[in-house]
Chain A
Amino acid sequence: MKRSFSLFISLTKNWLRSKSGVFFSILFPIMLLLIFSTIFGGPAAAEYTLHVEDEDVLFEMELPDYETSLTEGDVDEQLRDRFLDEDYDISENAKMERDDKDWYISDGEERVYHLKVIEGEDLIEVYGLSKVFMEALDATENLNIEEVTNLTEYRKENGEFEEHRGLRIEEGFHENALNKSMELRMAVMQDTMVRIYGRFDMDDDDEANFTEGWDTLNRTSENISAQYGNITLYTSPGDQAAPIVRGTVLGVMDTFNSQMVGLEDSTVQLSEEEVGKDRGLEAVDYYLPGFIAAFIMSNGIIGVTSNISEFKRNGTLKRLTATPLKKEDWILANVAQQTVLAFLLTGVMILVAVLVFGAQAYPGPYSLALIFLGSVAFCSVGIVMGGLIKDVEAASGAGNAVAFPMMFLSGAFIQIETFPSYLQTVARLLPLYYFHQGLREIMILDNPSEAVMAFLVIGAFALFFIILAIKTTRWKDI
Chain B
Amino acid sequence: MSKDIIEVNKLTKKYDGLVAVDSISFKVKEGEIFSLVGPNGAGKTTTVEILECLKMPTSGNAKVLGHDVKKDDDKIKKKIGVMPQDFNTFGRLSAEENIKLMGDLYGSGNLKEIMRKVGVDKFKNKKFDELSGGMKTKVGIGMTLISNADLLFLDEPTTGLDPHARRETWNLIKDLKKMGKTVFLTTHYMEEVEYLSDRAGILIDGNIEVIDTIENLIEHYGGGIKVNVLEDGEAVNIINDRADEVLKGEEGTWTGIFDSKKEARKALIKLFQLDSKVEVQEAGMDEVFIRLTGGKIDEGGELV
Question: Interface residues, chain A, CB within 8 Å of chain B?
Answer: 2-3, 6-7, 10-11, 13-14, 17-18, 314-316, 318-326, 476-478
Contacts and interface: CB of A to CB of B under 8 A. Distances in A.
A324 B78 contact: yes
20 contacts: A2-B104, A6-B101, A6-B105, A10-B97, A14-B91, A314-B91, A319-B84, A319-B143, A320-B105, A322-B54, A322-B84, A323-B82, A323-B105, A324-B105, A324-B107, A325-B105, A476-B53, A477-B54, A477-B56, A478-B54
A243 B106 CA distance: 66
B91 A3 contact: no
Contacts of A314: 88, 91
> Which of A6, A10, A319 is the most central at the interface, judged by chain B CB atoms within 10 Å of its CB?
A319
Interface string B161-195: 00000000000000000000000000000000000
Interface string B91-119: 11100011001101111000000000000
A325 B54 CA distance: 12
B19 to A, nearest CB: 16
B106 A18 contact: no
B272 interface: no
Contacts of B82: 319, 322-323
B123 interface: no
Nearest to A313: B88
A315 B55 contact: no
Nearest to B86: A315
Contacts of B55: 476-477
Interface size class of B (residues with CB under 8 A): 20 to 34
A6 B104 contact: yes
Interface string B71-90: 00110011000101111111
A319 B78 CA distance: 14
Interface string B42-82: 00000000001111100000000000000001100110001
B84 A18 contact: no
Q: What 3 A-B pairs are tightest by C-beta distance, nearest first? A: A6-B104, A315-B88, A322-B82
A321 B77 CA distance: 9
Nearest to A321: B54
A322 B91 contact: no
Contacts of A10: 90, 93, 97-98, 101
Contacts of B54: 318, 321-322, 476-478
A390 to B, nearest CB: 14
Contacts of A478: 54
Interface string B237-257: 000000000000000000000
Contacts of B88: 314-316, 319
A14 B53 contact: no
Given A323-B77, A325-B105, A476-B56, 16 more contacts: A2-B104, A2-B107, A6-B101, A7-B101, A10-B98, A11-B90, A13-B92, A17-B93, A316-B88, A320-B105, A322-B53, A326-B74, A476-B73, A477-B55, A477-B56, A478-B54
